[in-house]
Structure 1
Amino acid sequence: MSHVEDAPDGITTERLVLRTPAPGDLRNLFALYADPQVWGPDPLSRHHDTGQTAGMIENWRAAWRRDGAGIWTAWRRGERDADDTFVGIGGCFVRYGVAWNLGFRLLPRFWGRGYAQEINAAAVTTARRLRPDLPLTAYLVEGNDRSRRTVERAGLELVWRGPDAGNPDPSAVRLLYSDRPLSAETVEILVAR
């Protein structure tokens, strides 16, 4: 699943075409980000109107321009490139200038099929090619075991556990994973916001 190729409209993996998000992806992305099943472990990230999603798309596009990489939309490959079946999102972006942040979300019907690992492999390859000096990290809310297993399969290990800054639930716990040890200063930058 680590096979990754550049394609005219994105990157291809064994079963997916990964594309830079575009404004035309709004409908699919809002459906993903509004789905309570997808956001059960992290309800603060759930979208309640398309304006939130449109703003997110613009932020993602800005990350691509700034960092040379970012979050992709993931589309299932058919016999001829994508078959236009939206699977979800994933990729990585530079967070606060100190680390790559790995992220992924799939529509529930695609859970458990290895698509997240496929997206993560492409993201890790891209991040290490562009800025190998930066650690690769991932944030999770404790209890999101599906995502925990996925980032552990990507080679990340738990480096910090503590309060989820900004979460109105005082009992919420945030987990920070990384592909290498992080300085106390880097951890503070990553978890304080």
Structure 2
Amino acid sequence: MATATRTDRLILMPLTSDQADEAFRVYSDDRVWGHRPQARHETVRETLKVIERTAHSWEAKNLGPWGVYLRDHPSDFVGVGGLELVDDKVWDLKYRLRPDKWGSGYATEISEAALAAVKRTDPDTPITARVTTNHPASFRVLEKLGFRAVWEGRRVGTEDNPAEPDVRIYADRELPPDILETLINRP
């Protein structure tokens, strides 16, 4: 298992079940899910399922999502961010941060660390990100990192739910049709 990664302001620890309570506080916060309230976690068990699912990334490629802490205050949990390997075909860049930490550039800092790590360890695998279309702050982060939008539409299984926002898929390169199809059909 990987060790901690340090950036100028953050400590990025491989996300494990030991961080479930801290991650749940982020995943269950209404403000974090303002753009998609129906995705908010109701129980710590939901958060543990995410952590268990993303553990495959660490097992397969020794890279995955991190629990994020402040470097100046190592016990201060900022949120979750990094990469998840999807179907062993593509990396999915993601971050969820405590609302009191928004606007500080942490999403960009986490993303830059993730991109640097994947370029060292797995540069041939595409990197993507899915963002709801009502979340322009995340668009700006991704576009600043050089990602471009490659698809926009309804999330699978939400076609009949008007409360569910559309999703936009970003990528660091042109995607082969089969990979794009996998991402489009991912719930």
Q: Considering the TM-score relative to the shorter chain, is it more than 0.5?
A: yes
User: In the alignment, which of 168, 175, 181 is matched to residue 174 of structure 2?
Assistant: 181
Consecutive unaligned residues in structure 1, runs of 5 or more: 1-7
Q: How high is the sequence identity, in percent, across the aligned residues?
A: 33
What is the match of residue 131 of structure 1? 122
Structure 1 residues 98-113: aligned runs within 5 Å = 98-113=89-104
Matched, 1:41 2:32: no
The residue type equivalent to 2:117 in the other structure is: T
Distance apart, 1:22 and its partner CA: 2.5
Structure 1 residues 1-193: aligned runs within 5 Å = 9-78=3-72, 82-167=73-158, 169-170=161-162, 172-193=165-186
Q: Which moved more, 1:112-121 or 1:17-26?
A: 17-26
TM-score normalised to the size of structure 1? 0.88
- The whole-number CA distance in structure 2 between the counterparts of 1:113 and 1:64 is 27
Q: Is the 8 A contact 2:151 2:169 kept in 1?
A: yes
Consecutive unaligned residues in structure 2, runs of 5 or more: none
Provide the alpha-carbon RMSD of the alignment: 1.6
Question: How many residues were matched structurally?
Answer: 183
Distance apart, 1:9 and its partner CA: 4.4
Q: 1:32 to 1:192 in 2, by over 3 A?
A: same
What is the match of residue 3 of structure 1? none
- The whole-number CA distance in structure 2 between the counterparts of 1:175 and 1:52 is 24
Distance apart, 1:183 and its partner CA: 2.4
Distance apart, 1:163 and its partner CA: 1.3
Q: Is the 8 A contact 1:10 1:19 kept in 2?
A: yes
Superimposed CA distance per residue, residues 101-155 of structure 1 (whole angstroms, 9 cap, x where no aligned partner): 1001110001001111110011001111111111110001111011111111121
The residue type equivalent to 1:114 in the other structure is: G
- The whole-number CA distance in structure 1 between the counterparts of 2:125 and 2:24 is 31
- The whole-number CA distance in structure 2 between the counterparts of 1:109 and 1:27 is 18
- The whole-number CA distance in structure 1 between the counterparts of 2:174 and 2:111 is 20
Superimposed CA distance per residue, residues 60-83 of structure 1 (whole angstroms, 9 cap, x where no aligned partner): 2232112211100100011xxx52
TM-score normalised to the size of structure 2? 0.91
Q: Is the 8 A contact 1:20 1:61 kept in 2?
A: no
- The whole-number CA distance in structure 1 between the counterparts of 2:49 and 2:119 is 27
